[in-house]
Amino acid sequence: MIKSEQEIIDIVDRQRAFFNTAVTRAYDFRFNQLMELKSGIKKFESKLSAALKDDLGRPDFEIYATEIGFVLHDLSNTIKHFKKWMRPRRVKTPLLIQPASSHIHYTPLGVNLIISPFNYPISITFAPLISAIAAGNTAVIKTAEITPTCSRVIQELIDEIFDPEYIAYIPGEVPETTLLLKQKFDHIFFSGSPRVGAIVMAAAAKHLTPVTLELGGKTPCIVHSDAKMNIAVNRIVYGKFMNAGQTCIAPDYVMVHQSVKEEFLERIKKRVIDMYGDDASISPDFGRIVNEQHHSRIVNLIDQNKILVGGQVNKADRFIAPTVMRDVTLEDRVMSEEIFGPILPVMEYDNFDEISGVISKLPHHPLACYIFSESKAVQRELVSRIQFGGGCINHCLQHVVNPNLPFGGVGESGIGSYHGFNGFECFSHKKSILKAATWFDLPLIYPPYKGKLGIIRRIMK
C-alpha cells in the first residue's frame, strides 16, 4: 500500500518518540532485535532466494554467498562484538589538563533513513540496518522499485519482525522516496548512483542531515607485466561477471601492460567460455539484467567491431552474454559511463603515467581498484598514486567480505564507510567526554596569569 505524505510524517514522528524513550539504547534490546533479524533471515531464506531469481536471475551459489550468507555472517560478527563496541573508549589526556581522564562514548544518531539499491537488494538493505540496530537507532527502509519481488519479501520480513515505530518499511517508487527525503532524519544512508546521490545530499542539506553515500564509479583493474596471468584472468572474470556485472565494485575496465596484452586476451577469452559455456544464456551460473531499460542502455555500449568474446543479447530474456571488448580507447562509448553490466573493455598501457591519465579523464573517482602484480614496488606505487575507495591486490571484490575493513568511496564515489565496527561507527555519534578529578585543582589555568606564561610555553611545546 502506497504511503501518503501524512502517513510518512506519522511514521517518522512515532519513531522519534520511540527513540526518545531510550529503549533502543539498552544492550539487551539491541541484542534481542539482532537475534530476531537473524531468525527472520533464516525463516525467509527460500522466499528471498526465489525473489532474487525472479528479479535478477541469480544462481543459488551467488544468492547465498553475496546476499543471504553475507547478511548472516554480518549478523553473527556484529552480535559477537557489538557489546565491546558499545563501551566507551579511553584515549590519552595531555599534561596540561591533568588530572583527568578522557573517553569517547558511542551514542546512537536517532531516526535513520536507509535507501538501498537494486543490484544487491538483500545484503545492501540489511547490512546497514544491522549496523543501525547495533548502534541503538530506529530506521525507515526504502528499497529499489525495480526489484519488486525482492521488495515485497523484504517488506513482509520487516513487517513480521519489527514494530513500525522501531523499524518501518516504506513501499513505493520515486514519489515516495521524494516524500521521505522531505522529512527530517538524523542520518541518511544511501547506496546507488552518483546522480541520485546528489539528489539525496541536496535534500539532506535542507535539514543539515548527515549522510553516508555509497555510490559508483568506473573501477579500474590493472594487470602489470609480471602478473600471474592465470590467476589474474580467473579472478577478473569472477569479479566482473558475477550478478551479470551489476556490482558497484566490479572491474569496469582492464588496463593491461602492452607486453602481456595478447596473452591476457587469449586467456580471458578461453576463461569466459570455460566458466559460462559457448552459450551463456543456458548457463545455470549466469544472471540477468534487472529490466529492459538497463538492458537497452548496456547493449548500446557494445561495439560489435571490438568484441573478443560474447556480444550475444536477448531482450525478451534480459540477457547479455559475458562480453570482452579489445583495443578500447577513451573515445569509445563504453568508457563514457559506469557500465554496470557484463561488458569488460580492455585497454593497454606502457607506463604508470598512462594509467593515471586515463583515470583522471573519467568522471568519478573509482569506488574500487584492483592491481595484479607480483612486485611490491609496483603494488605500493599504484596504491599510492591512484585515488579510490578500497580494493584488492591480486584479487577482485574480496575486500568487501572482510568486516574489519571499512567499505566506502572517495570523492564522487561516496562519503563515509561501513561494515563491522565501521558500520557501528557510521550510525553512532562519537561523544567526547573529559572527566576531571576533584582531588586537585591546578592553579595554573586561572588568573592572575603573572609568571605563568613561561610554564604554559614549556608544557605546550
Instruction: Please list the active-site residues.
Output: 214, 248
Distance CA 31, CA 38 (A): 11
Q: In this structure, which amino acid lies at residue 22?
A: A
Distance CA 342, CA 286 (A): 10
Distance CA 441, CA 70 (A): 53
Q: What angle do CA 30, 186, 32 make, to 5 degrees?
A: 10
**Read out DSSP for 342-376?**
SEEEEEEESSHHHHHHHHHHSSS--SEEEEE-S-H
Return the number of other C-beta atoms located less than 10 Å from residue 296's C-beta. Answer: 12
Distance CA 196, CA 388 (A): 20
Instruction: Answer yes or no: are the C-beta atoms of 55 and 121 closer than 8 Å.
Output: yes
Instruction: Answer yes or no: are the C-beta atoms of 265 and 229 closer than 8 Å.
Output: no
First-to-last C-alpha distance (Å) of the chain: 64
Distance CA 251, CA 405 (A): 19
Helix (H, G, I), strand (E, B) or coil at 252: coil
Element (H, E) at 393: strand 390-393
**Alpha carbon 274 to chain centroid distance?**
30
332-336 — which CB contacts under 8 Å span 24+ positions?
332/303, 332/306, 333/300, 333/301, 333/303, 334/253, 334/301, 334/302, 334/303, 335/218, 335/253, 335/362
Distance CA 340, CA 323 (A): 13
